[in-house]
Amino acid sequence: MTRDLPTSLLMFIASRAASERIFRAVQEAGFTDLTLAQGRLMMGMEPDGSRLSTLADRGQIAKQTATALVDKLERAGYVERVPDPSDGRARLVRFTSRALAVLPIARAEEARIEAEWRAHLGAERMDQLRDALTALREVTDPHRPPHQA
């Protein structure tokens, strides 16, 4: 007897497939020193930089794990630690030009995935999916940007 999979698991399966494709595209473009875990951590970074504690929280990993990942990313030249202009005691983890070179590759694969999903589901169902997932952020994403009125 089979059961219907929970919606949360269905979302995870789609998300995992997309993440793996994006990671493969980045690897095939020559960024072979990046790991999937490092890439996931980088996904949580703000364009102007993020505090390590924020990255750990977004990645749902221990701060020590986030520190180890950032240390490796820093040694590989993908990120740098800089003073936080809002708090002189804190530091931000910020992308370097090397990391910024990865972003167009990842974004292009994201666009291919979106196009394939749109072709498979149809425009209306894809728009409904995006609207529903965006609405779910209101109750599932503690890091969502403030609501724009």
pLDDT higher than 80, residue 148: no
pLDDT at position 149 is 41
Q: What pLDDT is attached to residue 88?
A: 79
Burial class for 73, CB neighbours closer than 10 Å (0-12, 13-18, 19+):
buried
Average confidence score pLDDT of the chain: 92
Q: Does domain 23-140 have CATH number 1.10.10.10?
A: yes
Residue 62 has pLDDT above 80, yes or no: yes
- What does the pLDDT read at residue 147? 62
Taking residues 94-119, report their average pLDDT: 96
Is the predicted pLDDT of residue 37 greater than 60, yes or no?
A: yes
